[in-house]
Structure 1
Amino acid sequence: MPRISRQLNIISRCQSSYRRMRLEGDFAPGYHAYALAICARPGRSQDELADALCINKSTIARGIDWLLENGYVRRELKPEDKRCFLVYPTDKMLEIYPKVKMIADSWNKILTEDISEEELAVTYSVIAKMAEHAKRAALEIGGDKQ
């Protein structure tokens, strides 16, 4: 059986290079997913972001700290739970968001070039199942979803 993870890793590394070359400035490619998630649903908690991005909570905290220090997000205490921070994009984040989204969309177009709608539907379905299996396996061994 072919090693599917090898192909997924190649796609991931190429995507990172593509992002780095397409977006100038100090916004690192590793933060694109954060930008997409935060701008799509402002006011999520860090825990909700961790779940949405399948990143462990300590990594999310470090990522949010970097975004905060560089002026891309602001945090507010959740009114009903003072232990929980809600994350919002700043004007600086909103300014680069259209470019980040365009890069994500253009990468998706590159990946799906010459692939029929039927093939894409099957591929997406299979990859979604694999993602669920990966999450379950990570949780079963006592980790989180990273």
Structure 2
Amino acid sequence: MEDVLRSIGKISRALDAISNIDFQNIDLTKGQYLYLVRICENPGIIQGRLAELVMVDRTTVSQAIKKLVNNGFITRQHSETNLKNYELYPTAKGTAIYPRLKRENAYSTDKALQGFSKAEAQQLAAFLERMTVNVNEDWKSVKAGVPRDY
């Protein structure tokens, strides 16, 4: 069963590498497109919630946000309800390229699911969602300092 996670990792790395190359000409690199998509889909999202959505640490998100701000794709605004938080919003530049990012995602999804029936694709999506929930529990525990018992 170890091969399942290896395959998922292999697919993820390949698609990430492809996207990084595809988006170089619009100044999106190193997975920044992932954060921009989530911000476009959730205008006003705070950094901590964004980190949870993509399951990375806050430092990684912070670095990506800084680059997205510097390249004019997003803005950061103090939250009116909690001044410690910054809300993230796409700029006109970020909003303009969002459809291209969605088209790339749809193309990659179609390519990855080529040869699958609709029922198989739905079943795979359900299985992957269950796996995500399972892994998320450990991710949150480990991030809170609780070691896993192998």
Query: TM > 0.5 between the two?
Result: yes
| Residues in 2 aligned to 1:45 and 1:138: alpha-carbon distance in whole angstroms | 19
SS in 2 for 1:13: helix
* Other-structure match for 1:64: 65
Pairing 1:1-146 to 2, within 5 Å after superposition: 1-23=1-23, 24-143=25-144
| Cα offsets for 1:15-51 (capped at 9, x unmatched) | 0222133332321150121111111121111112112
Distance 1:48 1:142 in 2: 14
**Helix, strand or coil for the counterpart of 1:81?**
coil
Which consecutive unaligned segments of at least 5 residues does structure 2 have? 146-150
Asked which structure has the greater RCO (Cα within 8 Å, sep 6+), the reply is: 1
* Amino-acid identity (%): 22
5+ residue gaps, structure 1, are none
CA shift at 1:140, angstroms? 2.7
Q: CA deviation at 1:138?
A: 2.0
Q: Distance in 2 between matches of 1:78 and 1:122?
A: 39
What SS is found at the alignment partner of 1:27? Answer: coil
Question: Structure 1 pair 60/12, CA: closer, same or farther in 2 (3 Å)?
Answer: same
Cα displacement (A) at 1:142: 4.0
SS at match of 2:83: strand
**TM-score, with normalisation over the residues of structure 1?**
0.90
CA distance in 1, matches of 2:21, 2:142: 37
Alpha-carbon distance in structure 2 between the residues aligned to 1:89 and 1:120: 31
How far 1:85 sits from its partner (Å)? 0.4
Q: For the structure 1 residues 11 and 95, does the alpha-carbon distance in structure 2 shift closer, same or farther, using more than 3 Å as the test?
A: same
Q: Give the match's secondary structure for 2:26.
A: coil
SS state of the match for residue 75, structure 1? strand
Moved over 6 A (4+): none
Count the aligned residue pairs. Answer: 144
Amino acid in the other structure paired with 1:111? A
Secondary structure at the aligned position of 2:85 is classed as strand
Q: TM-score, structure 2 length as denominator? A: 0.88
Letter aligned with residue 55 of structure 2: C
